[in-house]
Chain A
Amino acid sequence: MPDSTGSNLPGLLSRYQDRILTDWIAAQSEVGVLRADLMREAELRRQSRSFLSHLIAATKNGLNFDIESEQWQDVRDMLTEVTNFRVDHGFTPTETATFILALKQPIFECLRDQYKDDPATLVNEAWSATVLLDKLGLYTNDIYLRGREDIIQRQQQEMLELSTPVVQLWDRIVALPLIGTLDSARAQIVMENLLEAVVESKAEIVIIDITGVPTVDTLVAQHLLKTAAAAKLMGAECIISGIRPQIAQTIVHLGVELPQVATKADLQSAFAHALKRTGVTFSATKPAHTR
């Protein structure tokens, strides 16, 4: 592949490889990217050497600034690995990008020695190196963000799974204690979990307890109603319990009506109602405790 930029950078990189590597690692330690508390120097050395050799391999057929192209595949993989390592070990994005950016100084020094007498070429080569390293540095930033986003997404998913348990209270009675704000995504999962539980436990009565829901707006009320309607279609009855006085007021203020859904102030009365509906009765064994 002909060198589109006419740059001599690739040749220079491989010629001064050892010197650049030594200077680079020194530079990284100097600017404080080598966080001795987060990673060992041997690991940094390994990553640096590996990156440099990949960089030389990627540029040996000429300099190509399009780092998304095939030729840069190995370098990209390497950078992904390096960045993910740093994400996992708690590096900041700046520290991660500086890993690449610290490479500028050693390269510039080599260029200076090489083109002492040719300022024009020196500037051109320095520019090529800057463009390339900036791109690679920004690439690590992208990867870093992506890594973080993955973590956030995973945690969100875990939170969703954690926060919608379905509890079997009695034969044919299940309860679904809701805790935290209900948004659309969560309400959807709540609905699905509840309906699956109805099928699984052959529940006839489902108690949705909203004691732990801080606010009920029209959207949440609508979700609750939808869930109740879906449960009804499957042949189960819904009771909403744990409606605090303020929430009752809010619901009335909002003009939301809850038709055909029994509402109870707390889980206890909802459970009592459910037992009555399924025809279960209790009697206290000690007469002193009977009401």
Chain B
Amino acid sequence: MTHFLEPNRIPIFQIGDCLLLTIQVDLEDRMIMTLKDDLAERIAKTHAKGVLIDISALDVVDSFIGRMLANISAIARILDAATVIVGMRPAVAITLVELGMSLQGVRTALDVDRGMELIRRESSEGAERLHEA
């Protein structure tokens, strides 16, 4: 199947050196796998410093989605981009905690704005440290 025919592909936007993706539909397992591949490629190509995943429209999660979110952020970290998951709903947060997935090592923020702020702060801190070294 070619990419053009894929109906439920999650678009990835670039804002400065951040990548933003908004999950607006119910996530199917295959979709999130495709997303993982797409995102890895985009980070490598754009040298993005941060990835914002907005899941404010997501109201159902399972352990697979939880693991994939953790996976995506681990991949991004290796490619030197910080991942921030933003806008998680209370019900989703409770579900993930009950599933025993507290997404260790993944940063979270209340909304896209705060998430962006977090990435900027961290990348500037990183730059300073590099400068000092």
State the A residues within 8 Å of B (CB).
191-192, 195-196, 198-199, 202-204, 226, 229-236
> A212 CB to closest chain B CB, in angstroms?
24
Q: Known contacts A233-B103, A234-B88; can you find 4 more A-B pairs with CB under 8 A?
A: A199-B89, A202-B110, A234-B89, A234-B90
Main secondary structure of the interface of A (DSSP, over half): helix
Which single residue of chain B is at the shortest CB-CB distance from A193? B90
In the assembled complex, which residues on chain A have CB atoms less than 8 Å from the CB atom of B108?
A: 232-235
A77 to B29, CA, bound (A): 54
A233 x B114 contact (CB < 8 A): no
B15 at the A interface (CB under 8 A)? no
* Chain B window 75-103, contacts with chain A (Cβ cutoff 8 Å), 1 for yes, 0 for no: 00000000001101110111011100011
A235 x B94 contact (CB < 8 A): no
* Chain B window 104-130, contacts with chain A (Cβ cutoff 8 Å), 1 for yes, 0 for no: 000011110011000000000000000
A235 CB contact (under 8 Å) in B88, B96, B97, B102: B88
B93 CB contact (under 8 Å) in A202, A203, A231: A231
A204 x B93 contact (CB < 8 A): no
In the assembled complex, which residues on chain B have CB atoms less than 8 Å from the CB atom of A230?
A: 90, 93-94, 96-97
Interface centre among A192, A196, A233 (most CB of B within 10 A): A233
Which single residue of chain A is at the shortest CB-CB distance from B69? A233
Which single residue of chain B is at the shortest CB-CB distance from A227? B97
In the assembled complex, which residues on chain B have CB atoms less than 8 Å from the CB atom of A191?
A: 94
22 residue pairs from A and B, CB less than 8 Å apart: A192-B90, A192-B94, A195-B90, A195-B94, A198-B90, A198-B110, A202-B110, A203-B110, A226-B98, A230-B96, A230-B97, A232-B108, A233-B85, A233-B92, A233-B93, A234-B88, A234-B93, A234-B110, A235-B86, A235-B88, A235-B114, A235-B115
A236 x B96 contact (CB < 8 A): no
- If A192-B90, A198-B90 touch, whether A233 touches B96 (CB-CB below 8 Å) is yes
A232 x B102 contact (CB < 8 A): yes
- If A229-B97, A229-B102, A233-B97 touch, whether A204 touches B110 (CB-CB below 8 Å) is yes
In the assembled complex, which residues on chain B have CB atoms less than 8 Å from the CB atom of A198?
A: 90, 110
> B119 CB to closest chain A CB, in angstroms?
13
In the assembled complex, which residues on chain B have CB atoms less than 8 Å from the CB atom of A232?
A: 102, 108
Shortest 8 CB-CB distances between A and B: which pairs?
Answer: A195-B90, A235-B109, A230-B93, A235-B108, A233-B93, A235-B110, A229-B102, A230-B97
> B122 CB to closest chain A CB, in angstroms?
14
A153 to B109, CA, bound (A): 38
A230 to B103, CA, bound (A): 10
Which single residue of chain B is at the shortest CB-CB distance from A195? B90
> B97 CB to closest chain A CB, in angstroms?
5
In the assembled complex, which residues on chain A have CB atoms less than 8 Å from the CB atom of B97?
A: 226, 229-230, 233
In the assembled complex, which residues on chain B have CB atoms less than 8 Å from the CB atom of A199?
A: 89-90, 110
A7 to B110, CA, bound (A): 75
A229 to B88, CA, bound (A): 12
In the assembled complex, which residues on chain B have CB atoms less than 8 Å from the CB atom of A233?
A: 85, 88, 92-93, 96-97, 102-103, 108
A196 to B89, CA, bound (A): 9
Interface centre among B108, B110, B111 (most CB of A within 10 A): B110
A134 to B94, CA, bound (A): 51
A233 to B102, CA, bound (A): 7
A232 to B98, CA, bound (A): 14
Which single residue of chain A is at the shortest CB-CB distance from B90? A195
In the assembled complex, which residues on chain A have CB atoms less than 8 Å from the CB atom of B96?
A: 230, 233
A204 x B114 contact (CB < 8 A): yes
> B81 CB to closest chain A CB, in angstroms?
18
In the assembled complex, which residues on chain B have CB atoms less than 8 Å from the CB atom of A204?
A: 110, 114
B110 CB contact (under 8 Å) in A192, A226, A229, A236: A236
Which single residue of chain A is at the shortest CB-CB distance from B94? A230
